[in-house]
Structure 1
């Protein structure tokens, strides 16, 4: 009986072996003659692996799975298949980018405390920044004057933002912004923003900008103006008239792009960003309190008074130190170092600077550096 079982088993193996051989031959050469029906040598038998183990789908997790979504949103955003195939499958999660983003001031912890402005001013409106800004201003004035006439934005303000953002081009950031934006999108704190900017970054590559050029900050800002990719696409400008808008190596193009950004943000020609003023000790702050919450940067604008015309401020005893604002222009009052210290009346052009970076200290120091560059 054992002998019969063995013979039956050999017969089954012979049939299976013939079927396997026929399938392989048919795939390689459909016109080949059928193989002879004989049992294969024992050593050619392949161990049977359970189907559930060999064919079970591998489920991607974490960033590996998220790359599938990046492919989807890139394709939905009209990115070429060549760019998607060359970049998305090879993206890696940059944990340093995520740590830096989470460590931003205000990202965690108590955000109600506001330090005085004076220490920030000493650090960001330095004699070094002023001197280097003045030198660049003089050297580039022939081009910057034309940009100023075209946009209405003072060249000194362009230069001050350039100095603040990149120390006049010397510190533009070394992060691969495509990888940084993908990592920040995956982290999820501001996913819609960073997914949109990731697609815009790929679009820049589709437009012919090489990936090695797209270096910048961990937050995805790039070039001399430190623009996010969507802003690069929309607002970079040709400042020297050579037909290019090269914001990574051409200072004039970078400065013209800054002016273009401020103009788009509502800059009004012929009006200062703000002026330092004296505030009388008897001023009733409650009477000028702003009761309307701003839709953008509410915490920043919460420190400002309600807007009033320069003529109304004069009537309250608020007086400029030197430069003034036209009487019909509206301005808000900000006392960044508290009562009894220098205060500022701030115009709509100050709000344009805030769109660049939503921080009172940033916008004030940009304005004051701009004033110092032109000796005001």
Structure 2
């Protein structure tokens, strides 16, 4: 009985907090044009889905990346060769099937057919992947208990506006983060970039391939897509050209990278036009896989999904659909690192004066660069990877 007596006040408090949160949300939704009837129908009986990743809950790690394949899988696993080959073959079939649609997208929007197909392939395996969550529940859970409450609150309001505009709740199946449709649109993006390419008076990103692909193209265009330009080039690291040059803050012209020793991995010479392009070094597996000179369209793809591995997947799949082959440099045998392990390395780098702004337990471009700079400074092998060896060296140095 004592357990019940202690538990009841906690439950009552949690219910009261949720009711207050819903009341404030209702007011905000009404101000955004969502009727009370739509709101009440959508949120009736809402209970947070505590199985979702990225929630702030007692006993759960602060940096919970469950469900985020870009941060929980090794690069070689995420960029699985067999899967990419299968998607590329399907994409080439879809090139022929949707030729007129893709021509119209290129002509009217300015994004190439291969890239929009690659987005569709990565996001839902060309519509074969069935989304496992109700978008309203997922977004409301993230807005109430998530690590990025304000962002998801905006997305939830936009999702409610979608219902208000006539989108059926049955279509609002989503990823754990609330992205919907064939090309995985966040609700706020729907109202900015959704596009009726098939001309039937409806914007249907769920069933109309023309609308879904054109909407993805509009999103890429809105994020700065450069027509006629690829996403990047695989390069070889030679001599002083190492992975510690990584990151957008170290961007240079390809001519300058060429002078530093960055050569095309396929052995082809740089063209005069290519030499004038601005690019930065990007090594998603550090020294244990391909390295790229990333162009502006790589950054644009990252704005669709903020992950280097995601952008490499989409860019490389687009190349494969267009007839390109495999990476020249193979992926090494590194595994995904533990969040706590990466956090410790980030914390130690920050304490030592390296430019680590966020300790998040994720291996991003800035972390790889600063690991490489640490390795350079300490005469270690420069592989730009937050490995056990790097952490051991840091701990040893700190104990001296």
TM-score by length of 1: 0.72
Deviation at residue 352 of structure 1 after TM alignment = 0.2
The aligned residue for residue 313 of structure 1 is: 257
1:154 and 1:100, CA in 2 relative to 1: closer, same or farther beyond 3 A?
A: farther
- 2:90 and 2:241 map into 1 onto residues whose CA distance is 40
The aligned residue for residue 73 of structure 1 is: 28
Match of 1:107 among 64, 72, 77: 64
1:114 and 1:94, CA in 2 relative to 1: closer, same or farther beyond 3 A?
A: closer
- The 5 A counterparts of 1:175-214 are 175-214=133-172
- The 5 A counterparts of 1:328-347 are 328-339=276-287, 342-347=290-295
- The 5 A counterparts of 1:1-376 are 61-97=16-52, 107=64, 117-122=75-80, 125-283=83-241, 289=245, 301=247, 306-320=250-264, 321=266, 322=268, 326-339=274-287, 342-376=290-324
Residue pair 2:180, 2:187 contacting (<8 A) in 1 also? yes
Cα RMSD over matched residues? Answer: 3.0
Deviation at residue 99 of structure 1 after TM alignment = 7.5
Residue pair 1:125, 1:365 contacting (<8 A) in 2 also? no
Secondary structure at 1:277 match in 2: strand
Secondary structure at 1:84 match in 2: helix
Residue pair 2:240, 2:260 contacting (<8 A) in 1 also? no
Residue pair 1:125, 1:368 contacting (<8 A) in 2 also? no
Deviations 1:143-164 (A, max 9, x none): 1111012222111111111111
Residue pair 2:54, 2:65 contacting (<8 A) in 1 also? no
Residue pair 2:55, 2:145 contacting (<8 A) in 1 also? no
1:197 and 1:115, CA in 2 relative to 1: closer, same or farther beyond 3 A?
A: closer
The aligned residue for residue 295 of structure 1 is: none
Residues matched between the structures, number:
302
1:373 and 1:179, CA in 2 relative to 1: closer, same or farther beyond 3 A?
A: same
Who wins on radius of gyration, i.e. which is larger? 1
**Structure 2 gap ranges (5+):** 1-11, 325-400
1:355 and 1:125, CA in 2 relative to 1: closer, same or farther beyond 3 A?
A: farther
1:100 and 1:371, CA in 2 relative to 1: closer, same or farther beyond 3 A?
A: farther
Deviation at residue 69 of structure 1 after TM alignment = 2.3
